[in-house]
A and B are shown apart, each in its own frame.
Chain A
C-alpha cells in the first residue's frame, strides 16, 4: 500500500463527499426553512441528469446541457412547490413523506415515459477528459473539476446565506417562520425560491455526476439515502453540518471500501476477506450515523441549538 494510493483514495473520498454536499445542502435547507421532509429530492437529481444528457446529445455541448439540467431541476422544483408542497407545510411529517414519496413514483414514471427505460449517454466534456499529474498521484481531470465545483458552490452558498438580503431572510425563516411573515416578508415567495434553489443544486449534482455514471431512472434514490445520512449526521437544517457530514460520509465510505477488505485479508483467505470486508464497508456510514446519534442526538451542528 503506497502513499500515492492512499492519497488518491482521500481525493476520491473528498470528491464523493462534495457531490453529496450538493445533494444534502438543498435537502437540509428545505428542512431548516420550511420544516419539510422532501423524499422527492432524488427525483430532481435525476431530472438534472436526464435533461443534461438530452440537451448535451442534441447540441453536442456538455455545458449547455449542464445549464439546462440545473434550470430544469430548479423549474421542476418551483412547480412542485407551488402545486403540491405548499399544501403540506402545516401537515405532519408523515403526510409529507407520503406525498413526496408519491412524487418519486410519478416523476420516475414520467421520466421513463419521456426518455424510455434504457440509460442515456452522457460523456465528460472534451476539456476535462484524461488525467493530470498531482506530484505522486495521477488523477482524473474531471474528478478534480468536481472537487472544484463542489468547493465553489459551497463558497457561493455561504456567501448567499451570510451576505445577501435573501440569505438574511432564509436565516430568519430558519429561526422563526411566523415572525418573518408578520414582519411583511413574502413568505410564500421565499419558500418557492428556497425550494427551487435546493432543486437546482440537486440538478447540478445529477448533471455533473451523470457524466461519469449511468443516467437512468431511479438514479436519485440511492443518493437520497446517503444525503439523509449526511444531514442527520451534520444536524438537520444546518448547511455547515451538511458540509462536514458530507465530507465525513464521503471519506469514511471510500476508505472503508478500500481498507476493510485489506484488513480482513491479513488473517483470512482472500475471497472470504473480500466478501466480509465489502459487506462491512457498506454498513460503515450507518454505524457512523448511529454513533453520532448516541453522543449528539441532534447531529454535529444542530441548527436550532
Chain B
C-alpha cells in the first residue's frame, strides 16, 4: 500500500468516525496484484480508486487484497472480508475460476458481487443471481465479436487456442458460435504457460490461414514474442484481453496490426471516456487498459447507487444498481435481465501513436450485443 493511499484510508476512516452515517459502504476488492496476472488486477484497482478520487467520495471504504490468482486464497479473503470487514459489496476478481469459487457463496450471504472482469458462462445462465452484477461482459461476448469479424476479414481456416479454464472454454465457444469458416485446429494450453513452442509447431503444420487466441496477461506476451520468432505470419484475430494496454508495451511491435474485439478502447470519443483517459494518465502515468475502464465503471455504478439508496436496505440498493444511472466510459450501458451488460462490441486495431503502442477503433462487430447464456437465467 502506498503511503498516499494509507493516508487516504486513514483520512476516510477518521471521516467515517466523525460522520458515522448509516450509508457508509465497505467495498472489499479481491484482485490479482502479484504474479503473471498482476497487471490486470493493478489496473482494475487503479481505475476503481480513480473513480472514487474523482468523485471526492468519503462514504465508501475500499479494502484491497491480493488473491495471487489462487482460488483457495480468494475464498479465504472473501470470507474474511464478509466476516471481519463487514463488507457490503465484493468486487475485483479477474479470473473466472476464482469467480466461480467466490461468487455463488458470496451472493447467497446477501452480499452484492459486482464483477469488473470475470464473466463465466455459468453465472450468466442457470446460476444467475439477483445480487450478482457483471459490469464488464459475459466471457463469450468479446470472443463472439472476434469470430464475427474473422468472417468479415474472409478467414476460412482458423487455428484456435485458449488456456484450459472456464474463461478459456467460453472463449473458444464464443469464437466458434459466430465463425463460419473451418477450424484447422483447436488447442487448450495451461493457465500461466510460458512456452508455446509445441503449439506453434502445430499451428505451422496445420495449414491454417489465420489464428484466434485468448491468452491474457503474461501468456499473451510469451506467445506473441515466440510467434514473432517462429517465421509464421498468419494474421491473428482476438479479443481485447490478449492485446490490452497492460501487455502491449512488453509485446512491442509484434502486436501491430492485430484486430481485436472490445467493448471499450482508449480512443473512444465520448466525454466521459476522454476525461477518464486523461485523468488516468495524469494519476498513474500510463494509458489505461480495458481492465482499468471496467474498474472505473464498477466504482461509478456503486457511487450512482449509493446516491439513491442505503446499502443496508438490500432491496432498495439492488434496484438502484439495476437503474444503472451512471455514465459508462464505454458509451451506452444497459442491463440485460441476467444483469450482464447489453453493449456495443467494437473492433480495435493495434497501432503505434506517438511512439506508444495502443489500440484504436476501426469498426463495430455488434451494435447491441448480449450474452447468449441469458436464456437460461430466470430473473
Contacts and interface: CB of A to CB of B under 8 A. Distances in A.
B42 A130 contact: no
Contacts of B183: 270
Nearest to B201: A8
B36 interface: yes
Contacts of A143: 197, 229
Contacts of A261: 187-188
B268 to A, nearest CB: 22
Contact of A138 (B33, B36, B231): B231
Contact of B36 (A219, A270, A274): A219
Interface string A212-223: 111111110010
Given A2-B205, A214-B218, A217-B38, A274 B231 contact: no
Given A15-B197, A117-B38, A141-B229, 19 more contacts: A12-B197, A117-B39, A118-B286, A119-B36, A119-B247, A123-B252, A131-B229, A140-B226, A212-B229, A213-B194, A213-B195, A213-B226, A214-B218, A216-B221, A218-B36, A222-B194, A254-B197, A278-B190, A279-B164
A213 B225 contact: yes
Contacts of A214: 36, 194, 217-219, 221-222, 225, 247, 250
B interface, how many residues as a size bin? 35 or more
A304 B221 CA distance: 42
Contact of B231 (A9, A119, A130): A130
Interface in B245-267: 246-247, 249-252
A239 B202 CA distance: 33
A264 to B, nearest CB: 11
A211 B229 CA distance: 10
B219 to A, nearest CB: 8
Interface string B156-200: 000000001000010010000000000100111110101101110
Contacts of B204: 5, 8, 138
Given A217-B35, A271-B172, A9 B198 contact: yes
Counting from the closest, the 3 A-B pairs by CB-CB distance are: A214-B218, A131-B231, A12-B197
Interface residues of A, number: 49
Contacts of A212: 222, 225-226, 229
Contacts of A257: 189, 198-199
Contacts of B315: none
A15 B195 CA distance: 11
B127 interface: no
A108 interface: yes
Interface of A: 1-2, 4-5, 8-9, 12, 15-16, 108, 112, 117-121, 123-124, 129-131, 138, 140-143, 209, 211-219, 222, 254, 257-258, 261, 270-271, 274-275, 277-279, 282
A34 B47 CA distance: 48
Contacts of A119: 36, 39, 218, 221, 247, 250
Contacts of A129: 229
B222 A213 contact: yes
Nearest to A223: B194
B204 to A, nearest CB: 7
Contacts of A218: 34-36, 38
B92 to A, nearest CB: 15
Contact of A271 (B186, B194, B222): B186
A258 B217 CA distance: 23
**For B186, B250, B251, B252, which residue has the most chain A Cβ atoms within 10 angstroms?**
B250
Contacts of B230: 131, 140
B60 to A, nearest CB: 24
Contacts of B190: 278, 282
Nearest to A271: B186
B247 to A, nearest CB: 6
A120 B226 contact: no
B201 A9 contact: yes
A141 B198 CA distance: 16
27 contacts: A1-B205, A2-B205, A5-B204, A9-B201, A12-B197, A112-B34, A117-B42, A118-B38, A118-B249, A119-B247, A120-B250, A121-B251, A124-B225, A140-B231, A212-B229, A213-B194, A214-B221, A214-B222, A216-B36, A217-B35, A222-B194, A257-B189, A257-B198, A258-B198, A271-B186, A274-B186, A275-B169
